[in-house]
Every structure is written in structure tokens, then in C-alpha cells.
Homo-oligomer: A and B are copies of this chain.
Amino acid sequence: MRVTIADVAREAGVSKTTVSRVLNTKGEVDGSTAARVREVIASLGYVPSSGAVGLARGSSRTIGMLVPSLTWPWMGEVLQGVVDTVEAAGYGLLLFTCNRGAESVERFTGQVSARAFDGLLVVEPENTLETITALHRKGLPVVLIDDRGHHPEFPSVVTTNREGGASAARHLLAAGRTRPLIVTGIRHFGCVRERLEGFREVFPTDLVHDGDFTERAGREAVERSIAAGTPFDSVFAHNDLSAAGAVRALRAAGRRVPEDVAVVGFDDIPLARHTEPPLTTVRQPMRAMGEAAAGMLLGHLGGGPVPAAPVVLPTELVVRESAP
């Protein structure tokens, strides 16, 4: 049978109120009484029921996290940062993905209404913005990670996408390249627009291929440019996957990387160091972003303020062989 606060109280010869007080170090309790209660707690191996505590206190000491997919290359890093921070604060992390349309979104909002968690971390899945906005307006604390749509309504953690694009441009320019080709990610993402602008402010070019973050997008951009006879001596891809595709297509076409064409990616996912040649890329601090977002949310739940402006964590250019 489960040990309850009543068992502890009886065994220690005090009231449940007193046990609760020493449990939460709240209110004055006589030193020796407290010590006795603590002994009983230890000897009985008593742990308060999280459900009962949550019900009585009106909060669950759990935070929720909603992500579009768990298999994206950088999601593990974000998650690890979040889990580490949340666990260290004694909170639990409830994980949700909304990848099966309306039905799963509904199930998710049900969990929210059920008060299964006190606050929500979001890597925004497509088509969930309305839902999340509604929940936020109803009072659910929310922090966005890698805000791809730029929603000033929410506290968020972002990285320096514009400066990241600019750093790639400066690097290629310094290496003496003159005709860069850009393979973008999905255009309506804020991060994509920023990476593009940041790059072109430093290194203007009209060779822009619309991609979608897939390997194929990188491959096709290169294949088409070569087929069209468009000269280019470098590629800036908006993520590492399409950079890897570009590298593959270049080598298949007999162009040497980096001698003939230098390639720079974005993200620095594990794959980046394993392509041939390894990718020069703009590193996103995914784990730190997860930690920062979780920290913000926990701080807010603890009664603190939330930053009015997005918290910005810097990208970092990682130089490898694809663009030395």
C-alpha cells in the first residue's frame, strides 16, 4: 500500500498540516518536531503524490513541449537542453507532437484544458499558430523556440539568422569567391528571409533557388544551374541537408569541392562533419536555445517577468573543408 501524508502524520504523532509544513519548509515549525517528521518521512520512504499536490495547489510542476517532429536532425539537441533544464528545476516534461492533423491538435488542446501542465514550450508545427495563440490568450504561459514566423506576441528564443547569413557571405568573399548561388529553405519562414537578406547585404547575388530544406533541393539547384550553364563558384545553402545535396551534385558533375565550388551550410547537424568533404556551416546553438527557452518559462512560472524582446543566441561559423 502506498504511504500517504496521513501515515507520516500518525507515525510522527503530529497533524498532516505539520507534515505538509516541513515538506514545503513553509511556516514556523519547531526544530525537533521537524527533525522527527523528517526521520519518519525517510524511514517510510514517503513521497508526496504529484497528482494530489497538483490538485491542491492548482499547478502540476510539469511543463509541456510541442514539436512538429522528433526526427529532425537538430531536435535532439533542443530536447536535451530543455530536459536538462526542466529536470534540474524539479519539473517534469510532457512531450507532444501534432503531426496527424486536426485530430491530434484537438487532443493536444484537451491536455492543456486538463491542466496537465503549467506552461508550454513550442517549436511551432505548421498550422498550429492559431491554436497556440488562443491558448496563450487564455492564460497559458508559452515560449517559442526558433520562432519561424516572427510572432511578437510570444516570448521567444531565436538565433542570429541575419548575422549567420552575413558571416557565410563574408567568409566566401574573403576566400575570393565572386559568384555565389543560394539555396533557400521554405520561403515563408522568417529565418529563411533573414538568412537570405543577411547574406545578400554583404554579398549581392541574384542566383537564388527556392528550396525546402531537403537534400534534393540542394541537388536540384546545382543540377539546374549547371544544366543552364550558369557560372557559380560557391553555394550557400540554408541548411546542412541541402548543402549536402549540393556537394553531392557538384561532385557527380565533376566539380571539385572546394576548389571549383565552395559550399557553406547552416545548422551544423551531426551529418555536417561526415559529408565528403566535411561542411563549413553556420552553427545554430540548438541546445543552448532549448536551455534558454526552458529557463525563461520556468522563471515565468516562478513569478518572474518574461523578456519583452526575443532572446537572441549567436550563430557561429564553423569552418571545415567544403569552404576553407
Give A contacts to B, CB under 8 Å: 2, 45, 47-55, 60, 62, 69-73, 75-77, 79-80, 83-84, 87, 90, 92-97, 99-100, 104, 107, 110-111, 113-116, 215, 244, 251, 270-271, 274-276
Given contacts A55-B52, A271-B270, contact A92 B76 (CB under 8 A): no
* 17 A-B pairs in the complex with CB atoms less than 8 angstroms apart: A47-B110, A47-B114, A50-B114, A50-B115, A51-B55, A52-B55, A62-B94, A70-B76, A70-B80, A71-B80, A76-B76, A83-B96, A87-B107, A92-B96, A93-B95, A95-B95, A271-B271
Q: Which residues of B contact A55 (CB under 8 A)?
A: 49, 51-52, 55
Give CA–CA (A71, B270) in the complex, Å: 10
Beyond the given A92-B96, A94-B94, could you list 10 further A-B residue pairs with CB under 8 A, ordered by the A residue number? A45-B113, A47-B114, A49-B115, A52-B55, A62-B116, A70-B76, A75-B76, A83-B96, A95-B95, A215-B274
How many copies, total?
2
Q: Is the CB of B96 within 8 A of A87?
A: yes
A138 nearest CB across to chain B (Å): 10
A219 nearest CB across to chain B (Å): 12
Q: Is the CB of B62 within 8 A of A71?
A: no
Please name the residue on chain B nearest to A59 by beta carbon: B51
CB within 8 A of A83: which of B52, B60, B97?
A: B97
Q: Is the CB of A114 within 8 A of B49?
A: yes
Q: Which residues of B contact A54 (CB under 8 A)?
A: 51
Q: Which residues of B contact A2 (CB under 8 A)?
A: 115
A87 nearest CB across to chain B (Å): 6
Q: Which residues of B contact A96 (CB under 8 A)?
A: 83, 87, 92-93
Q: Which residues of B contact A115 (CB under 8 A)?
A: 2, 49-51
Q: Is the CB of B111 within 8 A of A83?
A: no
A46 nearest CB across to chain B (Å): 8
Please name the residue on chain B nearest to A2 by beta carbon: B115
Q: Which residues of B contact A73 (CB under 8 A)?
A: 270
CB within 8 A of A72: which of B72, B75, B76?
A: B76
Q: Which residues of B contact A72 (CB under 8 A)?
A: 76
